[in-house]
Amino acid sequence: MASVTFQNVKKSYGSFEAIKDLSLEINDGEFCVFVGPSGCGKSTALKMLAGLEATSGGTIMIGGKDVTELGPGKRDIAMVFQNYALYPHMSVHDNIGFGLKMRGAPRAEIDRKVADAARMLELTPYLSRKPRALSGGQRQRVALGRAIVREPSAFLMDEPLSNLDAKLRVQTRSEIVKLQHRLGVTTIYVTHDQIEALTMADKIVVMRSGEIQQVGTPQDLFDTPRNMFVAGFIGSPGMNFFTGVVTVENGQAYTSFAGKPVALPDAAVRCANRTVVFGIRPEHIEVLAGESAIRMPLTLVESLGTEKILHLQTPESHRLQSSEMDFGTEDQRDAQTMLIRVIDDNRYATGQVIGLKFPQDKIHVFDGGMRL
Amino acid sequence: MIDFTAPRHRAKFGYLLLGPAVVLMAAIIVYPILLSVSISMQDVRIARIGGESEPWTFDNYIGLFQSAEFWEACWITSKFVLFVGGVSLVIALATAILVNQKFHGRSAARLLVMLPWAVPEVVATVIWAWMLDSSFGVVNWMLLRLGLISAQIPFTSDPTAAFFAVSFVMIWKGYPMMAIMLLAGLQSIPEEQYQAAEVDGAGVWQRFFYVTIPNLLPVIGVALIMTTLWVFRDFAIINVLTAGGPLGSTTTLSILTFEKSFAFFRMGEGAAVGVITLIICAILSRGMIGRFARSVH
Amino acid sequence: MRTRSLPGNIAVYATVGAVLITLLFPIYWMVITALSPSNQLRSFPPRFWPENPQFNVFSDILAAQPFGLWMVNTLLIALATLILSLTVSILAAYALSRHNLRGGESVGLFILLAKMLPATLLIIPLFAIFKSMGLVGNIWSVVIAQATMIVPFATWMLKGYFDTLPHELEQAALVDGCSPLGIIFRVILPISAPGLAATALYCFVISWSDYLFARTFLSTSESTWTLSMGIASMKGEFTTSWNVIMAASLMASVPIILVFLVLERFLVGGLSAGAEK
What pLDDT digit, counting tens, does each position of B125-139 carry? 999 999 998 888 888
B296 to chain A, closest Cα gap in Å: 22
Kindly state whether A73 is in contact with chain C, defined as any CB-CB distance less than 8 angstroms.
yes
**What angle is formed at CA B74 by the lines to CA B68 and CA B75, rounded to 5 degrees?**
90
Please indicate if any CB of chain B lies within 8 Å of the CB of A58: no
Interface of C with A in 188-217 (CB under 8 A): 190-191
CB–CB contact B119 C253 (8 Å): yes
DSSP A184: -
For residue A51, the chain B residue with the least C-alpha distance is: B7
Question: Cα(A264)–Cα(A366) distance, rounded to whole angstroms?
Answer: 12
Q: In this predicted model, what pLDDT tens digit does every residue of B56-95 receive, in sequence order?
A: 788 888 888 888 989 999 999 999 999 999 999 999 999 9
Helix, strand, coil percent values for chain A (each to nearest 5): 30, 35, 35
Rounded to the nearest 10 degrees, the angle between the axes of helix C119-133 and helix B267-284 is: 130
A220-249 confidence digits (pLDDT tens): 999 999 988 999 888 888 899 988 888 888
pLDDT value, residue B249: 87
Residue ranges per structural domain of chain B: 1-40, 65-296
CB-nearest partner of A102 from C166, C168, C176: C176
Mean pLDDT per 10-residue section of chain A, whose length is 372 residues: 88 89 93 91 93 92 91 92 92 94 92 93 91 91 92 93 88 91 93 90 93 93 91 88 88 86 86 88 87 84 89 86 75 83 87 89 86 80
CB proximity A146 to C under 8 Å: yes
Radius of gyration from C-alpha coordinates of chain C: 23
| N-term to C-term CA, chain B | 29
A/C interface, count of CB pairs below 8 Å: 56
- C27/B270 CB distance under 8 A: no
CA-nearest residue to B141 within chain C is C45
Task: For C170-186, write each residue's pLDDT tens digit.
Answer: 999 999 999 999 999 99
* Burial class of A93 by CB neighbour count within 10 A (0 to 12, 13 to 18, 19+): buried
The CB density around residue A109, as the number of other CB atoms within 10 Å, is 11
Q: Dump the DSSP string for C64-81.
A: HSSHHHHHHHHHHHHHHH
How far is C28 from B194, CA to CA, in rounded Å? 38
B8 contact residues in A (CB cutoff 8 A): 54, 69
Q: Does C168 touch chain A (CB under 8 A)?
A: yes
- For chain C, give the percent of residues with pLDDT over 90: 48
d(CA A72, CA B208): 53
Flag whether residue C264 sits within 8 Å of chain A, measured between CB atoms. Answer: no
Three-class DSSP category at A80: strand
Instruction: Give the SS3 label for residue A58.
Output: strand
Provide the phi-psi class of C122: left if phi over 0, else alpha when psi is between -120 and 50, else beta. Answer: alpha
What's residue B287's pLDDT? 62
Residue C31 has pLDDT above 60, yes or no: yes
Distance CA A160, CA A34 (A): 13
**Spatial distance between the Cα atoms of C30 and B116, rounded to a whole number of angstroms:** 13
Q: Is residue A57 within a helix (H) or strand (E), and if so which, with residue range? A: strand A57-62
Q: Do B5 and A71 touch (CB under 8 A)?
A: yes
Note the pLDDT of residue C228: 93
pLDDT score for C277: 28
User: What's the pLDDT score for residue A130?
Assistant: 93
**Residue C101 is which amino acid?**
L
φ, ψ for residue C33 (rounded to 5)?
Answer: -65, -40
Contact C175 A83 (CB under 8 A): no
Q: Does C104 touch chain A (CB under 8 A)?
A: no
- On whether the B65-296 domain is CATH 3.40.50.2300, my answer is no
Tell me if C177 and A146 make a contact (CB, 8 A cut-off): no
Four-residue CA torsion sign, A195, A198, A203, A206: positive
Whole-number Å distance between alpha carbons of A6 and A207 = 14
Using CB atoms, which residue from C175, C182, C191 is nearest to A72? C175
Distance CA C118, CA A48 (A): 49
Interacting residues of C186 by C-beta distance below 8 A, sequence separation 6+: C173, C178
pTM above 0.90, yes or no: no
In this prediction, residues B23-36 reach a mean pLDDT of 90
Interface check A78 vs C, CB under 8 A: yes
C171:A50 CB<8 A: yes
